[in-house]
Structure 1
Amino acid sequence: MTKLNAAYIFFIFGILIPQCALSQGSGLDFSKVLPDSFNKKNIIEEEDYNVWGTNIIKGKDDKFHAIYSRWPKSRGHHGWVTHSEIAHAVSDELSGPYVFKNLVLAPRGNQYWDGDCTHNPHVLEYEGKYYLYHMGNRGSGYWDNTPEDRMPMMKDKEWWVNRNHQRIGLAVTDDLNGEWERFDQPLVDIDETKRMVSTPVVSIRPDGKFLMVYKYVVEQEGVHGGRVIHSTALSSTPTGPFVDTGIPFIETKESTFALDDHVEWFQDGQYYCMGKDHDGSLTSFGKGTMVLYVSDERGMDWQLAKQPLVLKAGKLLWSDGTVTLCQRTSDMPKLYFEKGIPKALIIAVLPKGSEFSFSLVIPFYNNDL
């Protein structure tokens, strides 16, 4: 079995962090709990696969379960849209090491809407069940007849076939070690205004409704389509149907792709969104930086948090004194929660000049928030 290496290392640096350091009254301040450098033992990786978008959940068996995207390194970074699958690994500790256990959503043939690719999982636990929202797509079958080291690229026409068939799906289980029920129809499909839909995150509002935030590409002539827009939808149950609110999410008028990878949650009377400033139009911190937004309990009116910076893009500093320059520094953020309080941040990283990605677990300074 493949071992996924991670270690739960606390970074103290001789500073006493006060209790409730993450909560600053008017919002959360991640600068109070995130270290300046990271330990390489906190990396989650596989020898033969790229790792991306990792959720960590403590199961009913008291073990830690990682639900994540992976695809063969031989297919390169852009193979995420053609060859990704959703996998499951287990550890006795949040720190790891995680041991691969099984595929959660394996390829099942392009006769299915999600038969070639499943990606960007987001796991929600609710009333004893686990709900896995994800992207799925299918291609023409072209990639089935290519060598294993043939790297899909955006210049390939067939890459866009898979990209434009992205839909949002759901799988459900009551046991993280058991089988997941997956469905033959998307949970959220396209319409005449949407070329594709992807990257769902579902959270529970205080009123009991389920808020989904997802992105779509505006239907427009040409293979690329139009702007990338994030939308919100509501449902009274975790299985839908999710109905679009018609209320815009975080965006800027001048940008065609402002927000990217994101996660939302409700805590201490406020909604939060941690998301990537994709093109640098949201803040002055630079493109690719992870920033924090806040909203009221409806999750419909968003503004930058009082302390918006989470992780600045460009490089990772390691505790051994080395530096990794990054093409993607902190994508697909996920939070590990205990009793509704975030205890660790998990991000996806693509080093500069590399085709190989990994996830990184970042435990917070204060473990008693």
Structure 2
Amino acid sequence: MQDLNLQALLPDKFDKRGILEEEHYNVWGTNILKGRDGKYHAIYSRWPKSRGHMAWVTHSEIAHSVSDHLAGPYRFQNLVLPPRGKPYWDGDCTHNPHVVEHEGKYYLYHMGNHGSGFWDDTPETRMPGFEEDQWWVNRNNQRVGLAVAEDLNGPWERSDAPLIDIQPGRLITSTPTATRRPDGKFLLVYKYVEDNGEPRGGRVIHVTALGDSPTGPFTDTGVPFITHPTALFAIDDHVEVVVDGKYYCIAKDCYQSWGDYPAGTTVLFESDATGMDWKPAKHFMVLEAGELYWTDGSTTLCERTADMPKVYTEDGVPKALIIAVLPKDSEISFAVILPLQANA
């Protein structure tokens, strides 16, 4: 069994034909699965460009596009989890989808939240941000949810209650990923923010939970996910994949906690088949933050180089890495599908 080396599998320069974008929407956090119809289905977050990047927490919704080819182009198909109103825990925002196929069904883990109604009466050009008290209302109502469908084209059955709610000491729950372990159990990883009485909260902590089925119930294991001896925010924007019986986690090093490279660099961790004992992988570097180089000779300076990574696999073999990009001095984001080289 060879150790996974994603950096070696990535091309030196990226093809712009792999960009997934929408005319009027920011695009983020993109899953790609091959459907029973033989087409490639992208399920991702989107929100209006006019609202700016930080509206991911106030105006995001989960959408669905389709292509005949893995790298695109993708055509918008429909909304998967649109806003459904204040009575619901996810009534205003759905974000950070993570889709798992199991025994003929699809399980869409996601973040959802609701606000106070403040944003409903603001112009479409009003950009939410940290300085807005109401931004934090949406942020602090984040919870982990689950929707289920028998086909990637839908319909999706949404839950009327969060899959993972808060508990004493936890301000939010968010950013879920789920994988089926080799032993058949389902490993759920999510994060929470410590409740210290302030709107921002305290440390960001990632935890693990186990369930016997993709719908749970999930019980916290008490085992932290990936920790660092000095960092308050060890990783973010993670995704796990099992390759040849070994767990790998692709994640963002937000604050240069793990090495001397630019903040936001994408790195790789590994674990045994339990997904409980993580360490930096042999081939730790995946994609250095700062700049993307394209096959047409152009470059893109990035504020966010490779956020919310996802992996497209076939028969357990990684075939593409999908990343979210926010260019420098821009409010407009997009996804890029990066096919992996088979013989690297």
Question: Shared fold by TM > 0.5?
Answer: yes
Match of 1:274 in 2: 250
Match of 2:238 in 1: 262
Match of 1:110 in 2: 86
Match of 1:249 in 2: 225
Q: Which of 113, 138, 141 is 1:162 aligned to?
A: 138
Say if 2:69 is the partner of 1:89: no
Match of 1:297 in 2: 273
Say if 2:42 is the partner of 1:66: yes
Say if 2:77 is the partner of 1:77: no
The separation in 1 between residues aligned to 2:241 and 2:19, in whole angstroms, is 24
What SS does the corresponding residue of 2:224 show, helix, strand or coil? coil
Note the aligned Cα RMSD (angstroms).
1.1
Say if 2:323 is the partner of 1:343: no
Q: CA deviation at 1:259?
A: 0.5
The separation in 2 between residues aligned to 1:209 and 1:322, in whole angstroms, is 45
* Runs of 5+ unmatched residues, structure 2: none
What SS does the corresponding residue of 2:196 show, helix, strand or coil? coil
Say if 2:54 is the partner of 1:50: no
Say if 2:196 is the partner of 1:189: no
Q: Which of 293, 297, 303 is 1:317 aligned to?
A: 293
What SS does the corresponding residue of 2:197 show, helix, strand or coil? coil
The separation in 2 between residues aligned to 1:52 and 1:106, in whole angstroms, is 15
What SS does the corresponding residue of 2:223 show, helix, strand or coil? coil
Q: CA deviation at 1:251?
A: 1.8
The separation in 2 between residues aligned to 1:344 and 1:233, in whole angstroms, is 27
Match of 1:357 in 2: 333
State the identity as a percent: 63
Q: CA deviation at 1:103?
A: 0.3
Q: CA deviation at 1:134?
A: 0.1
Deviation per residue, 1:317-367 (Å, 9 max, x gap)? 11111111100000000011111111000000000000000000000111x
The separation in 2 between residues aligned to 1:354 and 1:137, in whole angstroms, is 25
What SS does the corresponding residue of 2:17 show, helix, strand or coil? helix
Q: Which of 141, 148, 151 is 1:172 aligned to?
A: 148
Q: Which amino acid aligns with 2:20?
A: I
Q: CA deviation at 1:120?
A: 0.2
The separation in 1 between residues aligned to 2:171 and 2:112, in whole angstroms, is 14
Q: CA deviation at 1:253?
A: 3.2
What SS does the corresponding residue of 1:186 show, helix, strand or coil? coil
What SS does the corresponding residue of 1:158 show, helix, strand or coil? helix
The separation in 1 between residues aligned to 2:24 and 2:7, in whole angstroms, is 34
What SS does the corresponding residue of 1:208 show, helix, strand or coil? coil
CA contact (8 A) 1:124 1:131 kept: yes
Match of 1:28 in 2: 4
Q: CA deviation at 1:284?
A: 2.4
TM-score, normalized by length of structure 2?
0.98
Deviation per residue, 1:122-157 (Å, 9 max, x gap)? 000000000000000000000000000100011100
Q: Which amino acid aligns with 2:212?
A: S
CA contact (8 A) 1:251 1:282 kept: no
The 5-angstrom pairing of residues 143-154 of structure 1 reads 143-154=119-130
* Number of residue equivalences: 344
